């Protein structure tokens, strides 16, 4: 590992025009992204979209066919993994089975000939941060999955890397533990003030932990933004349905800020750029009108077909009758637990123009 830089140095990571193919298969097709020092960034996308390959190129385990990886203003594309101030945590933990937990964590520091008392201080501090002080003398085989992953995190962070790469680190754990560790991961990133780059295909995880999400699809970054931004303003059908679940309406542009759907005309806040295209609306942005509410626009009659209890809300399946010989359309709607509607109820639904998202494709 490189000697520690001066405190004023920043560790911004600049990935410039990275391309990678395996044989004829194009896996990364022009990746450009700038990651600021100290950000928690997640690469999110379906299986096979190239997330792990991009992570491996940043780590140095894989070489890009084209493009550069630049850290703190220096091109590091040709450096071997051990010459990069970057550590990786894998899903499989990759602990050394013959070393106890203390020695697993101390391994990197020992191989860099760090003085013994400093190793002791740093390993103990890191074990405290990840809450495993009582495991120092245990062997990896005796640990649970969550404990092993904490050790793997401590082992990577004790080296004080500029960047920590995390390749699906929580995916082997059960749902409850996973949620707990997501919170811990976020805290750990803040405490250590290290850039974290996480790979996951779990959208809830990405939303929970990240400052910024890069949504990948077929070797490209198709959206780059904060979790809120990506959830509220998905650019296309893929993002709208991959992150959260959205109703997608097939529409035709009628005139400025007016689109025709099967169940009537919708007033929009933004004029679509297409003549025919998709509009996304989240189920929490469709409201069942109470009898004394009146809205001038975007109110449509509907029949409740189903209600599903989701714990903290009801999900309703509502059918909106088609107009002008169009087929009826089903929409998913969210209501509060104390708002009870039953299958067969006739209601009016209000769709707020500001929450309608015009999709690019």
Ligand X SMILES: Nc1ncnc2c1ncn2[C@@H]1O[C@H](COP(=O)(O)OP(=O)(O)OP(=O)(O)O)[C@@H](O)[C@H]1O
Size of the site for ligand X (CB under 6 A): 11
Task: Please state the closest distance from residue 224 (CB atom) to ligand X, in A.
Answer: 16
d(CA 245, CA 285): 12
Cβ atoms of 355 and 349 closer than 8 Å: no
C-alpha closest to that of 81 among 161, 27, 13: 161
Stretch that binds ligand X, among 42-50, 154-162, 291-299, 319-327 (CB under 6 A): 42-50
Shortest CB 200 distance to ligand X, Å: 8
Residue with tokens 């004829």: 24
Tokens representing residue 321 in the block: 């009758």
Show the tokens assigned to 284. 């929490």
Report in angstroms how near the CB of residue 219 gets to ligand X at its nearest.
8
Instruction: Supply the DSSP symbol for 6.
Output: P
Binding region for ligand X (CB under 6 A) out of 1-9, 40-48, 154-162, 345-353: 40-48
Select 186 or 218, whichever has its Cβ closest to ligand X. Answer: 218
Least Cβ distance, residue 323 to ligand X (angstroms): 43
Among 13, 15, 27, 215, binds ligand X (CB under 6 A): 27
Q: Give the containing element (helix H, strand E) for 110.
A: helix 101-111
CB of residue 47 vs ligand X: minimum separation in angstroms?
A: 3
Tokens 């979209």: give the residue. Answer: 49
Q: What is the 3-state secondary structure (H, E, C) of 302-354?
A: EEEEEEEECCCCEEEEEEECCCCCCCCEEEEEEECCCCCCCCCCEEEEEECHH
Whole-angstrom distance, CA of residue 36 vs CA of residue 223: 17
How do beta strands 163-167 and 195-200 pair?
parallel
Under the criterion CB under 6 A, does residue 34 sit at the interface with ligand X?
A: no
Q: Which residue lies nearer to ligand X by CB, 167 or 285?
A: 167
Q: SS3 letters for 150-213?
A: HHHHHHHHCCCCCEEEEECCCCCCCHHHHHHHHHHHHHHHHHHCCEEEEEECCHHHHHHHCCEE
For residues 314-333, which are near ligand X according to CB under 6 A?
A: none
Of the candidate spans 43-51, 240-248, 269-277, 315-323, the one that interacts with ligand X by CB under 6 A turns out to be 43-51
**Nearest to ligand X of 50, 277 (CB atom):** 50
CB of 26 or CB of 326, closer to ligand X: 26
Q: Which is nearer to ligand X, 149 or 261 (CB)?
A: 149
Residues in contact with ligand X, shown as a per-residue x/- string from 191 to 210 under the rule CB under 6 A? ----------x---------
The least distance separating ligand X from the CB of residue 24, rounded to whole angstroms, comes to 11
Q: DSSP of 81-109, one letter per residue?
A: GGGSSEEEEETT----TTS-HHHHHHHHH
Judged by CB under 6 A, the chain residues 44 through 83 that form the site for ligand X are 45, 47-53
Please say whether the beta carbons of 77 and 20 come within 8 A. no
Q: Output 49 or 76, the one with its CB closest to ligand X.
A: 49
DSSP 133: G
Decide whether 108 or 219 has the Cβ nearer to ligand X. 219
User: Which 104-163 residues touch ligand X, going by CB under 6 A?
Assistant: none
Query: Shortest Cβ distance from residue 146 to ligand X (Å)?
Result: 21
In the complex with ligand X, which residue's Cβ is closer, 48 or 353?
48
Is 90 or 341 the residue whose CB approaches ligand X more closely?
90
Judged by CB under 6 A, the residue of 17, 22, 271, 337 near ligand X is 22
What is the binding site for ligand X (CB under 6 A)?
Answer: 22, 27, 45, 47-53, 201
């Amino acid at each position: 590992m490189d000697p520690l830089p001066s405190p004023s140095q920043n560790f911004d990571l600049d990935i410039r025009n990275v391309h990678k193919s395996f044989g004829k298969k194009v896996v990364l097709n022009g990746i450009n992204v700038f990651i600021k020092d100290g950000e928690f960034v997640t690469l999110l996308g379906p299986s096979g979209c190239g997330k792990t390959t991009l992570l491996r190129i940043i780590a140095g385990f894989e070489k890009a066919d084209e493009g550069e990886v630049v850290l703190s203003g220096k091109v590091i594309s040709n450096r071997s993994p051990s010459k990069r101030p970057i550590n990786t945590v894998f899903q499989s933990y990759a602990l050394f089975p013959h070393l106890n937990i203390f020695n697993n964590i101390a391994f990197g520091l020992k191989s860099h000939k760090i003085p013994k008392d400093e190793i002791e201080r740093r390993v103990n501090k890191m074990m405290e941060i990840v809450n495993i002080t009582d495991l120092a003398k245990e062997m990896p085989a005796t640990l649970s999955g969550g404990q092993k992953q904490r050790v793997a995190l401590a082992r990577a962070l004790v080296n004080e890397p500029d960047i920590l790469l995390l390749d699906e680190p929580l995916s082997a754990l059960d749902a409850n533990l996973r949620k707990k560790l997501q919170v811990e991961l976020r805290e750990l990133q803040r405490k250590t003030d290290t850039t974290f780059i996480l790979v996951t295909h779990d959208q809830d995880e990405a939303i929970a932990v990240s400052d910024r999400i890069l949504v990948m699809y077929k070797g490209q970054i198709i959206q780059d933004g904060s979790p809120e931004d990506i959830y509220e303003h998905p650019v296309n059908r893929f993002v709208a349905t991959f992150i959260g679940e959205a109703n997608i309406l097939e529409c035709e542009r009628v005139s400025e800020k007016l689109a025709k759907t099967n169940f009537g005309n919708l007033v929009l806040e933004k004029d679509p750029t297409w003549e025919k295209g998709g509009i996304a609306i989240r189920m929490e942005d469709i409201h069942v009108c109470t009898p004394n509410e009146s809205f001038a626009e975007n109110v449509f009659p509907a029949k409740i077909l189903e209600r599903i209890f989701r714990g903290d809300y009801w999900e309703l399946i509502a059918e909106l009758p088609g107009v002008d010989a169009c087929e009826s359309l089903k929409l998913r709607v969210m209501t509060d637990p104390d708002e009870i509607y039953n299958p067969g109820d006739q209601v009016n639904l209000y769709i707020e123009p500001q929450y309608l998202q015009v999709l690019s494709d």
